[in-house]
Every structure is written in C-alpha cells, then in structure tokens.
Chain A
Amino acid sequence: MKLKASEPFKFRTRLTLVQATGRKAGNIMELLEGIRESDDSIIYHHTHRFLKQFHFLVPEPANDFAYWVNNILQEEKLGEELASVEIVRFNSLEAIKRAFVEILERHLKQVSEPMRAVSSGKEFHFLRSIRFSIPTSHQARDYAEFIECLRNVSVSTLYLHVFEARLRPPYGVDDFSNWFLKQFNDAEIQKAISRLDPYSYTLEGLRRRIIRILEQRIQEMKNA
C-alpha cells in the first residue's frame, strides 16, 4: 500500500443560514401539503440541519416534523413513525421527502376521528437552509495526518463529510470512505464508517469513534 495519497483530502465546512418561507401548518393535512411543495433546501433544513443543531444531545430528537407532531400536535403514534425515518440512510433529499409524504398520506387514510389542530402561535413554520460549503485550512495526505486533522476540524466539517456527503455523487458513500478507497484502495475503512449511526453518538463521540477506527487500521497495517 502506498504511503502518501496523490490527492490530499481537503476538509471543508458546512455553514447554514436560515430563511423563513412564510408558510406554516396547523394540522396534519397542512403539514403534508407543505412537505409536498417543499424544495430540497426546505427538506434539508428540517432533517439535516435539525440533526446537526442538536448534535450534543443523546438521544437526539429525530427531525423537525416528528418533533412538532409529537410534542406540539401531540399525535404520538404518528410522531413515532415520522421519527423512525432514518435520515442518513437515504441518498437524496427527494427520497427523504417521499418517505415523509407516504407516512402522512397513510396516516390520513387510516384516521377516522376529526383532525387535531394547534392554536395560533404553535404552527409548524417551513424554513429553508441556505447552505455554504467553505474550504478550511486542514489537508491530509496519509492516515496520520488525517487523524490529526480530524482532531481539529469542527463538528460541521464532520457532519458534512460523513452524513451529508451521502446525498451527492457517489450517492450513499461518505467522503472519508471514498478518499481512503480511491487513494489507498482501503475498503475496510468504508465498511467501518458506513456502519456509524448518528443517532447513537454525539458528533464529538463520532469524531472519537472515527479516530479510533483509523488508529486501529494503522495498527493492523503495521502488524500485517
């Protein structure tokens, strides 16, 4: 195995700015209609940004839609279903949107009692994330440098490369795995990182876990 990568891994960071759309929902039907008409930047906001915003919590709240249905509308069963949508397992925001739409449509077909609505001021507000991808000064050409960078980058960087990366080509693959595979033909790293679940770690915990995976990998290579 070669020791230095021909192309360095350049760490970037993701920053977001929140934009209000002026649209709101007071019941399930309005929530469904709002989601149906949402573009990627709105779906991203209520799923991915939400996850990152509360990254220090374990267990983390699942997504904005589930939180509102569960805690504000108090439709616990539906809230549970919406919370079970595993955001990071999807390869596109459109697919995530479809998953929510299907759950809400199924719910509306099944229920017979009158639709619950929230009082004024408690509506769900559809928001949009304006996403910025910004280069950082961190670059790595080998395993050791990579670990060093990982210790110092922000959690936004971690989130961008591990979870959000799966939404763009090559779909379903995080940036770290992709780099180790391309540069060092190391498929073991991909296997280990793709198994990581953001719902089981804080992003700080995740940072420690990836560093441990890489340290173990260095040790294995030394022993081989």
Chain B
Amino acid sequence: MLEEYRKIAGSNAIDEIQLIADRLKGKTVLHVNSTAVGGGVAEILNRMIPMMTELGLKPKWELIKGGDDFYAVTKKFHNALHGHEQDLTPKDYQVYKDTLKMNMEGMSLDYDMLFIHDPQPAALIEKRNSSKNKWIWRCHIDISHPAEEVWDFLKQYVLKHDAMIISAPNFSQKIPIPQMLVPPSIDPLSDKNKELSDEEVKKIMARLQIPTDKPLITQVSRFDRLKDPVGVLEAFKKIQHYVTARLLLVGGPADDDPEGAAVLAEVRQMADGNPDIIILCLPPTSNIEINAIQRASSVILQKSLKEGFGLTVSEALWKGKPVIAGAVGGIPLQITHKYSGILVRSIDGTAYWMKRLVHEPEYARRLGENGREHVRENFLLTRHLRDYLLICLYLESGKETFIRL
C-alpha cells in the first residue's frame, strides 16, 4: 500500500516514513475510537492501520461500546467542546463513567503506544497501570472555546496522558502536558481525491448535465448559513456584468434538515431566472462526482463564516485549483494569502477576487500549483502517519526537543 503513495507523496516522503518506522519496529500500537465507519477518524484509521502493519509495527484498532444513552452524553460533550453550553446532569456523567468502566474490563490496554481518539474513550486512562506505556489523547474537535464544565470534567482524564494532539494552533490550551500539532489530512487515493482523466471528468459532467462552455466558479458545501451560500450568490451577482462565467453551488439534498432546506429555498429563489447560476443537490455518496466537478472548475470557493478545520479547502487545492476561502478555523493553515490561495472576509472581497482570478488565469494557475504543493507537503495522509510515528519517537526519547537518531 505504501508504494501506491510513493508516486503521489514523493519518494522521499515514503523513505522518511520508513526510516522513522525502522526505529519503532515491533512496537504495539492501539487506536481507540467510537466508530468503524463514517467520519474522518474512521476513514483515516482504515488506511493508516494497514500502513503501520506494512512498516513493521503491530497496530490494533478497538472501538468503544456503549448504548444510546452513552452516545447521547458524548454528543453533548462534543457540542460543549465546540463551545455550545449543554445541559448535563450528574446522571449523564455517571453514564459516561459506567460505560467506560465496562469497556475497560473487556479491553486489553497493554500496548507500547495508545492513541485515544476524542472524548468517548478518554477515561480509559484510568486503567493505566504502567508509566512505560505511552498514552496520547488525540482531539479531532475544535476546542478553542470549550464550555468550561465539560472541559473541566474531561481535563481530569486528558492530563493523565503523556501528550495531547490538536489539529490547529488556536485549539491549544494552557495545560501542563505537551500539545502536539497534527492537522488532519486527505487521502489522495480516495474517490474524492484520486486522479481522473479529462475523459472521465467530461463524462461525469455530461451525466450531471453541467455545461462547461464557460468557466465554472464552484462552491461544494452543505446548504448551511455558516457556509454562506447566500453571500456567494451575492458576490457572483456583483461580477456578472464584467465576467463570463457560471456559478455552481453543490450541496446535499437537505431533506431531513429544516434549516438546510430553508437555506436551499432562499438560494434557489435568488438564482431564479439567472441562467448562469446552477444549484445542484447530490447524495452524500457522490465522491467521484464531487471530484470531477472540482477538476472541471476554474475557481473554487469555500466562503465559510465559521469552520472546524475546513479540509475541503485542501481537497480543492490538491486538484491544483485556485481557491478563495473565508479566513476562518483551520483555513489560514491551508492557504497563505496570495501565495497558495486567497483568503477573504467579506462579500465584496470575494467578488473582487473571483473577478481577478477569472481574468488572470496565469496568476490563478500559479496559486493552484502552489496550493497543490502545500497540500502535498502538509495535508496528505502520509504526513499524518509520519507525525504519529514521530510522536511515538518523541515520547520514547523522553520528550527532548532535539533528537538525533
């Protein structure tokens, strides 16, 4: 599997991973999270576990088991860590503790390295019986402004780990354990990101009945106010007089999401009678279609008003496209303004840059190229794996800041 990534991530990136892994050969590694399918964590682990095995480590992946009441509580934890105050009762905390206690009884935790993903399995640390094992709490959530009560509760477990991993600098906390920064990553071999031939792209665009006779400016995002599709439409309307282009808004069907349905209706009404605005609802499994749409576009937007990490930006940059994106969440880590994309804070700014990038394809191409290289270096799955391995070495070395092997 590693060899498949060699061509994409670069030979040296794979060689480096192998050099590090040589120092960790035979080490047992446990990953614990709460779901085997769906969601970014499961997607990454599904690929990473076989890669670790190929590298000579002995990884295992365990799932936390719990009832509906447990997941209701951890959902509240999740929302609270995102900064939304939740109504948690003493019984809720007890459900969490009891479920974790039950899991501890059925799970062997005798591994050299343990990666504990997100709040669900955090209390497993209570079963730690040796300081030789290295425990790492991997937080995939934006905890920049956590609700205090829940964070205080979880912190008692987090602080017993040897290190915590966060995805962006602004998620860091004032705590006494090392906080390693490991951004999420995209899998360049997945349907959403793999290379497609021009022929394949054309076929998919024809099947979706999206005309490609004019440059496409595209935003792929849920119809959600925080993704600001209304702002995107307004910005496009401002430049229509000067620019020959189409705007394409692609989102999910929003059938079971009343707010999403309201946003979609508003967007449809705004676009009514404007032949150069296309609104498309695709089912959530449309990975290859999204891939083709992004590749057929001239400019890609992600005009979010609030984001977690906003990994969709890296997905677009990976296709070598110039991206205009809101300067929120983890997006500024992925785009350096005017070097590897464009960061915007307003509708006017978005309109200005849309116009410029359509009119200056050479500059737009350079942004896209730089963006792709930035993703190659920093946001591919292989870098994610390398960072995990380096963390193992760092903890084994006694947390030195300079390690010569």
Q: Which A residues contact B (CB, under 8 angstroms)?
A: 13, 15, 17-22, 39-41, 53-54, 56-57, 61, 67, 71, 121, 123, 125, 127-137, 153-157
Interface of chain B residues 2 through 59 with chain A (CB within 8 A): 10, 12-13, 15-16, 19-20
Beta-carbon contact of B181 and A20 below 8 Å:
yes
The chain B residue sitting closest to A56, CB to CB, is B373
Beta-carbon contact of A19 and B181 below 8 Å:
yes
Residues of chain B within 8 A of A54, CB atoms compared: 336, 339, 374
Name A's interface SS: strand
Residues of chain B within 8 A of A71, CB atoms compared: 337
B99 is an interface residue with CB less than 8 A from chain A: no
Beta-carbon contact of A154 and B15 below 8 Å:
yes
Offer 13 A-B interface pairs, CB within 8 angstroms, sorted by A: A13-B12, A17-B394, A18-B182, A19-B181, A123-B170, A132-B393, A134-B20, A134-B405, A135-B405, A137-B15, A154-B10, A154-B13, A157-B12
Residues of chain B within 8 A of A22, CB atoms compared: 172-175, 179
The chain B residue sitting closest to A131, CB to CB, is B402
The chain B residue sitting closest to A133, CB to CB, is B404
Residues of chain B within 8 A of A56, CB atoms compared: 370, 373-374, 377
The chain B residue sitting closest to A41, CB to CB, is B401
Bound Cα distance A187, B246 (Å): 61
Residues of chain B within 8 A of A17, CB atoms compared: 180, 387, 390-391, 394
Residues of chain A within 8 A of B374, CB atoms compared: 54, 56
The chain A residue sitting closest to B164, CB to CB, is A20
List 13 other contacts, CB 8 Å, given A19-B181, A41-B401, A131-B401. A15-B16, A17-B394, A19-B179, A40-B401, A41-B402, A56-B377, A61-B339, A121-B144, A132-B20, A134-B16, A135-B19, A153-B12, A154-B12
Beta-carbon contact of A13 and B390 below 8 Å:
no
Beta-carbon contact of B377 and A53 below 8 Å:
yes
A51 to chain B, nearest CB (A): 13
A159 to chain B, nearest CB (A): 12
Most buried by B among A13, A40, A56: A56
Bound Cα distance A125, B174 (Å): 12
Residues of chain B within 8 A of A130, CB atoms compared: 390, 394, 400-403
B294 is an interface residue with CB less than 8 A from chain A: no
A47 to chain B, nearest CB (A): 15
Most buried by B among A128, A132, A155: A132
B378 is an interface residue with CB less than 8 A from chain A: yes
The chain A residue sitting closest to B401, CB to CB, is A41
Beta-carbon contact of B402 and A127 below 8 Å:
no
Residues of chain B within 8 A of A132, CB atoms compared: 20, 390, 393, 403-405
Contact of A20 among B179, B328, B405 (CB under 8 A): B179
Please report the number of residue pairs spanning A and B whose Cβ atoms sit closer than 8 angstroms: 102
Contact of B336 among A18, A61, A134 (CB under 8 A): A61
B121 to chain A, nearest CB (A): 22
Q: A15-B390, A18-B180, A19-B179 are in contact. Are A125 and B16 (CB under 8 A)?
A: no
Residues of chain A within 8 A of B169, CB atoms compared: 20, 125, 127
B136 to chain A, nearest CB (A): 12
B178 is an interface residue with CB less than 8 A from chain A: yes
Q: A125-B172, A134-B19 are in contact. Are A57 and B404 (CB under 8 A)?
A: no
Residues of chain B within 8 A of A154, CB atoms compared: 10, 12-13, 15-16
Bound Cα distance A54, B334 (Å): 12
- Pick the 6 closest A-B CB pairs, nearest first: A154-B12, A20-B172, A125-B169, A18-B181, A56-B373, A41-B401
Residues of chain A within 8 A of B166, CB atoms compared: 20
The chain A residue sitting closest to B339, CB to CB, is A57
Bound Cα distance A13, B173 (Å): 31
The chain B residue sitting closest to A124, CB to CB, is B169
Bound Cα distance A40, B401 (Å): 9
Residues of chain B within 8 A of A39, CB atoms compared: 401
Residues of chain A within 8 A of B12, CB atoms compared: 13, 153-157
Bound Cα distance A157, B10 (Å): 14
The chain B residue sitting closest to A59, CB to CB, is B339
B194 is an interface residue with CB less than 8 A from chain A: no
B386 is an interface residue with CB less than 8 A from chain A: yes
Residues of chain B within 8 A of A128, CB atoms compared: 401
Beta-carbon contact of B20 and A53 below 8 Å:
no
Bound Cα distance A71, B336 (Å): 10
Residues of chain A within 8 A of B178, CB atoms compared: 19
Residues of chain A within 8 A of B373, CB atoms compared: 56
The chain A residue sitting closest to B338, CB to CB, is A71
Beta-carbon contact of B19 and A136 below 8 Å:
yes
Residues of chain A within 8 A of B336, CB atoms compared: 54, 57, 61, 67
Beta-carbon contact of B339 and A156 below 8 Å:
no
Residues of chain B within 8 A of A157, CB atoms compared: 12
Bound Cα distance A157, B19 (Å): 13
